[in-house]
Amino acid sequence: MLGKTVARHTSEQFVAFLTDVVASQPKRREIHAICDNVSSHKTQRVADFLDAQRNVHLHFTPTYSSWLNQVENWFSRIQREVIGVFRH
């Protein structure tokens, strides 16, 4: 599993992340990434990258299904169990 944090989630940052993923794997290995439906995952810049990297495949979670996004689940659990809920 690879991850990266950035100040802004742009298509340029996403392509940079995908480039890092490709570089970390053996040549021509099939790479499948599960993505949410944020607009920066669906730009022409991303499409151009995917055309050049035919071994990279994006799969999108259904719209309005955050419970399927494991990162969202992880942050939700941290919020509930570590940070807690604070009331005024």
pLDDT of residue 87: 57
Evaluate whether residue 43 is within a structural domain.
yes
Q: What is the pLDDT of residues 31-77, one digit of tens each?
A: 999 888 889 999 999 999 999 999 999 999 887 776 666 776 777 77
pTM, two decimals, is 0.73
Q: Give the Cα separation of 28 and 63 in Å (integer).
A: 30
User: What is the number of other CB atoms lying within 10 angstroms of the CB of residue 11?
Assistant: 19
CATH of the domain at 18: 3.30.420.10
62 in a structural domain:
yes
37 within domain boundaries = yes
Residue 2 in any domain: the answer is no
Euclidean distance between CA atoms 3 and 58, whole angstroms: 16
Q: What is the mean pLDDT of residues 20-26?
A: 96
Total domains present in the chain: 1
